[in-house]
Amino acid sequence: MSSILSNVLPAPEDPVLSVIFACRDDPCPVKLNLSAGAYRTEEGKPLVLEVVRKAEQQLANDLSCDKGYLPIDGLADFNKLSAKLILGDDSHAVEENRVVTIQCLSGTGSLRVGAEFLAKHHQQRVVFVPNPTWGNHPFIFTLAGLSVEYFRYYDPQTRGLDFEGMLKDLGAAPPGAIVVLQSCAHNPTGIDPTLEQWEKIRQIVRSKGLLPFFDNAYQGFASGNLDSDAQSVRMFVADGGECLIAQSFAKNMGLYGERIGALTIVCTSQDVARKIHSQVLLVVRPMYLSPPIHGASIVTTILKNSDMYKDWTIELKGMADRIISMRQQLYEAIQARGTPGDWSHIIKQIGMFSFTGLNEKQVRWMAKEYHIYITYDGRISIASLSSKTVPQLADAIHAAVTRLA
C-alpha cells in the first residue's frame, strides 16, 4: 500500500534534545545529565514539595471536587491569585480591572497563546529576543508567524551582561516591536540586569513604543524571594503601560508534569481588557479548548491558604539556597584544581543555570570522556548538581580546559 505520508522528511537535529537522548542511551552508571532545566535533590531525585503533597491530600479528601471541564480561560481563583503573585498585592492595574489572566499550559503554553494573540492582533510582526535566549523562544514565535530578531545580551569576553549593546539594539528596534524579556534568572546565561539597569531598559522600551513580553519562569527560584524576583515586571506595570507576562509554576512549585501556568496581559483600561479577554478566548478554543484542572487546583489551594503559602515560601527558599550552595561548591572545586581562567562568573550568575564559557568541542569531549552531558553552548543546570557530583564535574571541566584550550 502506498504511503500518503512518505514524503515527510526527518526533523533536523535539535541541539538540546540530541544531548538528552545521548545521555539517555549512555549505559555508564555514573553518567551525569546537566542539560535539562529541572531541580534535583542532593540525592539526585526529583523533588515533590511537602506543601504540594499536603494540597493534593486536601483535594483528594474534598468530595466536592470533580473532574469536569474548566472554562476556556481556566480556574477563576487560580487566575486571580497568579496575577496577584506576579503583580503584587497592591497592584493598581489589578485594582482598576485592566488585567487579563488566562490559565495556560505552563510557561511554554502561555508564551504560545500570547504569540498567537499578537500575531492576530498586533500590527508589528517582529519579535526581539535576547542573544542568547531559551532555545524554544524562536520556535514559539516563528510558529505563530512572527519574525524573530535578536538584541545583544551576553558578552563572552566578560561573561556578563552586554548592557550597552542591549540598549543600542532596543533603541534601534522599530516602534511597536515585541521585546521578550526574562524577568529573573535569565536562561541560559544566569545573568540579570540590576534594578538600575532595568529602569533604563524600561525607559528605552517605553520611549520607543515597544511592547514588552516577560517570560516569568523562575519567580522565587532565583533569589528565594517572590517579591524580589518580580521587581522587573512590577517596574513596567507601575508606569501604566501595556505588557504581557507568561508565568510558570513548574520550577517554583515543582509542578513540571502538571503543565500549569498563566498568561497575563496588562492593559491601559478596563474596556481594552474586556476586548482582549474575548479575543484570547478565541485563540485558546481551537488550540486545546480547556486547560487541565489538577495543577491549577494545587496552586490555588496553596496560594489561598496563608499557612500553606508560608510553607511554600520556606521550601522555595530552601531550593534557591541549595542552588546557590552548589554554585559556591563548584567554584571552589574548580579553584582548588587550579583550572586556568577566571571562574567567578559561576557565583555571580543567578538561578538554575550557569553559562560556563565552555565551547562545543570541550562539551562533546566531556560527554565522551567523563559521561557528563551539558548543552553545546556550555550551559549547565546548577539545580541538577549535588555535593557528590560537583567533584566529578570540576574534574571534567579542568581536563577539558587544560587539554582543549
pLDDT for the residue 178 = 98
The answer on 328 and 294 residing in a single domain is: no
Interior CA angle at 294 toward 289 and 297, to 5°?
105
Would residue 268 count as lying in a domain?
A: yes
Number of independent structural domains in the chain = 2
Give the strand pairing for 353-355 and 379-381. Answer: antiparallel
**Residues 285, 152 share a domain:** yes
Domain, as residue range, for 374: 15-47+320-404
Residue 151's DSSP bridge partners are: 130
- What is the pLDDT at residue 68? 95
Among candidates 318, 317, 311, which has minimal Cα distance to 52? 311
How far apart (Å, rounded) are the C-alpha atoms in residues 267 and 275?
Answer: 10
Do 129 and 19 fall into the same domain?
Answer: no
Cite the active site residues: 134, 215, 251
Is the domain of 260 the same as that of 114? yes
- Predicted local distance difference test score (pLDDT) of residue 224: 95
**Cell of residue 310, nine digits:** 508560608
Query: Domain ends where: 241, 273, 304?
Result: 304
Cell numbers placing 203: 525607559
Q: What is the pLDDT of residues 234-246, one digit of tens each?
A: 999 999 999 999 9
Classify residue 172: in a domain, yes or no: yes
β pairing state of 178-182 and 211-216: parallel
3-state SS, residue 256: helix
Do 28 and 106 lie in one domain? The reply is no
Residue 59, in any domain of the structure: no
Question: Is the pLDDT score of 376 beyond 90?
Answer: yes
| C-alpha separations of 383 from 32, 318, 329, 348 in Å | 13, 12, 12, 15
**Residues 397 and 262 reside in one and the same domain:** no
Question: What is the pLDDT of the chain when averaged over all its residues?
Answer: 96
Q: Is the pLDDT of residue 37 over 80?
A: yes
Average pLDDT rounded to a whole number, residues 260-271? 98
Per-residue pLDDT tens over the stretch 58-89: 999 999 999 999 999 999 999 999 999 999 99
Q: Burial-class residue 310 by CB neighbours within 10 Å (0-12, 13-18, 19+).
A: exposed
One domain for residues 109 and 175: yes
- Residue 7 grid coordinates: 514524503
Domain boundary among 304, 328, 362: 304
Q: What is the pTM of this model?
A: 0.96
d(CA 364, CA 356): 14
Structural domain contains residue 9 = no
Cβ-based burial of 89 (10 A; exposed 0-12, middle 13-18, buried ≥19) = exposed
Which pLDDT score, from 0 to 100, does residue 80 have? 98
Domain-located, residue 2: no
**How many other C-beta atoms can be found within 10 angstroms of the C-beta atom of residue 388?**
10
Average pLDDT of the segment spanning 98-122 = 98
Residue 135: pLDDT band (50, 70, 90) is: very high
Question: What is the mean predicted confidence (pLDDT) over 306-323?
Answer: 97
